[in-house]
Amino acid sequence: MTYTLIAVCCLIFVLGPASGFNPSYGTGDALAAAQRAYFRSWGVVPADLFDGPAREVLTPATALFVHGSWVHLLGNMLFLFVFGAMTEERMGRVEFTVFYLGCGYLALLGYAAANATSPQSLVGASGAISAVLGAFLYLFPSARVTSLLPFLFFLPLRFPAWVVLPFWAALQWLALDQAPAGPGVAYLAHLVGFGLGFGYAWVRYGRTTRVRSAPAPAPEGENQP
């Protein structure tokens, strides 16, 4: 399912207006207008979610498969590729799929609840992927993760997951305080997803089922518009 989710996200992006590959959306101002309408239709708009038509309750699910740019898509899919397969193998295909979709939905819902009057569209799988990171941390705390750190000139260094992933979560927390109002990275959705994923793994699998796993490479950081 990890690879299926990646394929679906990539296909939807290529067919949508943000990729620039579909000529039916036009160019210039017409393309920009099509992108805004597309994100508003399929993304989460907090103001509409809590005070709009009933169909808006589905948007936290549809938004998980929509991405705003190539950087956004590739950054999210890289994290899902690296951390998703091992987590899915531990959980099983069906449970992992329900876990991914459920935590992703709740992460976007949590962001929307905290910004209930916002008219801005929110799209992307990062809330669900953050949940995968949280579960991975609990299930494979000793897995070696390759990280690229900007302040060390992007030298690839290997650290255990219990160092890398809490550090990533701390960066999201710090960035949340600095985030400007308006469009940007939904750091709160990352934190909600990460907490849900870790909590689910803790409750579901218990302390005796954690696995000391083989190395899993991954870059540090995440890109999202």
Q: Which of 99-103, 108-112, 206-210 has the highest mean pLDDT?
A: 99-103
Mean pLDDT (whole number) for 196-223: 64
Higher pLDDT, 162 or 60: 60
Higher pLDDT, 30 or 6: 6
121 is catalytic: no
Contact 53, 131 (CB under 8 A): no
Residue 41 pLDDT > 60, yes or no? yes
Catalytic member of 72, 121, 147, 190: 190
Calpha distance 98→7 (Å, rounded): 17
Residue 166 pLDDT > 50, yes or no? yes
Please tell me the predicted confidence (pLDDT) of residue 167: 82
Buried b (16+ CB within 10 A) or exposed e, 17-47: bbbeeeeebeeeeebeebbeebbbebbbbbe
190 is catalytic: yes
Calpha distance 181→187 (Å, rounded): 12
Catalytic member of 118, 126, 130, 147: 126
Contact 201, 135 (CB under 8 A): yes
